[in-house]
Amino acid sequence: MKFQFSNQFRQQFVQYQGGTFKLVDGELPLLDKGQIFVEVQYSTINPIDRIMYRAKKEEGFVMGTEGNGYIRQIGDGVDKGLIGRFVSFTLGGWARYAIKDINEVIIFQDQSGLDPRKFANAFVNPLTGSGLIDLAKKHNAKAVVILAASSQMAKQMIRLSRSLGIETVNIVRRKEQVKDLIENYGAKYVLNQSSSTFFLDLECIGGNIPGDIFAKMPPKSLMVAYGILSKIRLSFDSFDLIKNDKYIQSFFVFRWLNSLEHEEKKQLFEKVADDLQNNKGQIFSTNIIKEIPLEEWREAIDESEKIASQGKYIIKCARN
Ligand SMILES: NC(=O)c1ccc[n+]([C@@H]2O[C@H](COP(=O)([O-])OP(=O)(O)OC[C@H]3O[C@@H](n4cnc5c(N)ncnc54)[C@H](OP(=O)(O)O)[C@@H]3O)[C@@H](O)[C@H]2O)c1
């Protein structure tokens, strides 16, 4: 039997309608087999949300690459005991409610006093960082070079790499970020790409940073394109790639998650939940700098970008 929503649940989300994104009222579809109905508490603003906001022109698309909240209703086949449990999910997060497949959400342990704000960024970055470091492990990497290492996800990767004995070489673009990574994240190697000695430090020739760094890396190195913060077109020396058997590949967290077996994904979700709940987020925690109500999503997109190094803006999606 499908669950029919009553007027008690009034959906509202940030949706692309008639050529622009706006906060609008919406319909709640029927709950299908294996699905859960989540009362959303918090979401966040990620770089990918900014890309979607500026480039996505798909009628009906709902913003918010991630969100969290409490399971209020369940579809057929879902354990009744999960009603009331706290979960984190991906896509459609800038909404009052979300409907998700139970196998695609992180289910947190039933703990009293859980603060949903601390879990606003529990999905996209922890899973992306895990996926990238998993790639490094599969590649038998002893070290990884992280660009834009001041980002919240890079900080998670630094901590995750250390826990696995993988060294990180971190590149940032401001002096205070060097200090922050060394003092607060235990990073050993941090270089400032804006420093006049940067290219001498790296013995690079200047120009496009990823291309130049890749040129300096040893044979069989792998470069993974997973972000587009600099918005520049990269260039590489084809001779170096061929001669030294180097690789370039992309990484997109949703594609990677879809490639995992159910059990692998479950273990990964449990690892993130365990770290955030029982280990004080020693690997996957995010710095949160401001909370805004869902109504203020538009202004917050640009405002938060200017101070992204300090931490995330989180969006309160639950009605008061
Ligand atoms: N492929 C995937 O599946 C996937 C999934 C999740 C995240 N990502 C990517 O991972 C990256 C980090 O995400 P996040 O949420 O951790 O970001 P974030 O916390 O919002 O931080 C962005 C950071 O990048 C720095 N930055 C911005 N433009 C830069 C540039 N041109 N050169 C160097 N540094 C720059 C900013 O520092 P300043 O203070 O210097 O501006 C800021 O510290 C983003 O590119 C995001 O799109 C990819």
**What pLDDT, in 10s, does the model give residues 266-320?**
999 999 999 999 999 999 999 999 999 999 999 999 999 999 999 999 999 999 7
User: How many angstroms is it from 113 CA to the middle of ligand 1?
Assistant: 31
Of the candidates 228, 253, 278, which is a domain's last residue? 253
* Cα–Cα distance list, 132 to 9, 127, 135 (Å): 38, 9, 5
Q: Which residues line ligand 1 (CB under 6 A)?
A: 46-48, 124-125, 128, 148, 150-153, 173-174, 226-227, 229-230, 251-253, 308-309
pLDDT band, very low/low/confident/very high, at 9 (cuts 50, 70, 90): confident
The SS3 assignment for 168 reads strand
Q: What is the DSSP letter of 232?
A: P
Q: Tell which of 253, 271, 297 closes a domain.
A: 253
45 neighbors 298 (Cβ within 8 angstroms): no
Query: What is the rounded distance in angstroms from the CA atom of residue 114 to the CA atom of residue 80?
Result: 21
Examine the domain organization and report whether 78 and 95 are in the same domain: yes
**Mean predicted confidence (pLDDT) in 120-132:** 97
- Is 259 domain-assigned? no
Which atom of ligand 1 lies closest to the CA of 250? 1
Give the chain's count of helices (H) and strands (E).
Answer: 10, 14
CA 144 to chain CA centroid, Å, is 19
Q: What is the mean pLDDT of the chain?
A: 93
* CATH at 98: 3.90.180.10
Q: How sure is the predictor about 86, in pLDDT bands with cuts at 50, 70 and 90?
A: very high
- Read off the pLDDT band of 3 (50, 70, 90): low
Report the distance separating Cα 71 and Cα 84, nearest Å. Answer: 5
- Do 103 and 184 fall within a single domain? no
Domain count for the chain: 2
Do residues 248 and 158 both lie within one domain? yes
**Which ligand 1 atom is nearest residue 226's CA?**
1
CATH of the domain at 132: 3.40.50.720
Residue 196 confidence (pLDDT): 79
Do 204 and 307 have their domain in common?
no
Which atom from ligand 1 is nearest to the alpha carbon of 209? Answer: 32
235 belongs to a structural domain: yes
User: How far apart, in whole angstroms, are the C-alpha atoms of residue 24 and residue 160?
Assistant: 39
Ligand 1, atom 22: nearest CA belongs to which residue? 151
User: Strands 97-101 and 35-44: what pairing?
Assistant: antiparallel
Q: Which of helix, strand or coil describes residue 166?
A: coil
Which protein residue's CA is at the shortest distance from atom 31 of ligand 1? 230
Domain co-membership, 117 together with 25: yes
Task: Write down which residue in 202, 233, 253 finishes a domain.
Answer: 253
Instruction: Check whether residue 115 and residue 79 sit in a common domain.
Output: yes
Alpha helices by DSSP H, the chain: 47-55, 124-138, 152-163, 175-185, 198-201, 209-216, 238-243, 253-259, 262-278, 297-306
In the block, tokens 């896509």 appear at 91
Do 157 and 67 share a structural domain? no
Q: Is residue 271 included in any domain, yes or no?
A: no
Distance CA 319, CA 302 (A): 24
Residue identifier of the C-alpha nearest atom 26 of ligand 1 = 148
Which range marks the domain in which residue 178 is found?
A: 125-253
* Average pLDDT of the residues in 54-62: 95
Q: Would 38 be classed as within a structural domain?
A: yes
On the question of pLDDT at 202 being above 60, the answer is no
| pLDDT for the residue 204 | 43
Least confident residue range of 7-11, 181-185, 286-290: 7-11
Pairing of strands 312-316, 288-293: parallel
Together in a domain, 242 and 161 = yes
Q: What whole-number distance in Å separates Cα of residue 74 and Cα of residue 100?
A: 10
Percent of the chain with pLDDT over 90: 86
Considering the domain architecture, whether residues 178 and 234 belong to the same structural domain is answered as yes
> What is the chain's Cα-based Rg?
21
Residues 94 and 136 in one domain: no
Phi, psi values for residue 228, rounded to 5°: -135, 45
Q: What is the pLDDT of residues 219-275, one digit of tens each?
A: 999 999 999 887 778 888 999 999 999 999 999 999 999 999 999 999 999 999 999
What is the total residue count of the chain? 320
Residue 1: per-residue pLDDT:
45
Between the CA of 229 and the centroid of ligand 1 the distance, in Å, is 6
**What is the whole-number distance in angstroms between the Cα of residue 150 and the centre of ligand 1?**
8
271: Cα separation from own chain's centroid: 15
Q: Is residue 258 part of a domain?
A: no
For ligand 1, mutation pick of 184, 305, 309 (most atoms within 8 Å of CB): 309
Q: Whose CA is nearest to atom 15 of ligand 1?
A: 46
Residue nearest to atom 39 of ligand 1 (CA): 309
287 near 311, Cβ under 8 Å?
Answer: yes
Atom number, ligand 1, closest to the C-alpha of residue 309:
43
In a domain, 208, yes or no: yes
Positive or negative: CA dihedral 100, 102, 106, 110: positive
In a domain, 277, yes or no: no
What is the atom index within ligand 1 of the atom nearest the CA of 228? Answer: 45
Cα-to-centroid distance, 143 and ligand 1 (Å): 20
Q: Are residues 116 and 130 in the same domain?
A: no
Residue 116 within a domain: yes
Q: Is the domain of 142 the same as that of 232?
A: yes
Find the 36 Cα to ligand 1 centroid distance in Å.
31
Ligand 1 centroid, distance to 227 Cα (angstroms): 7
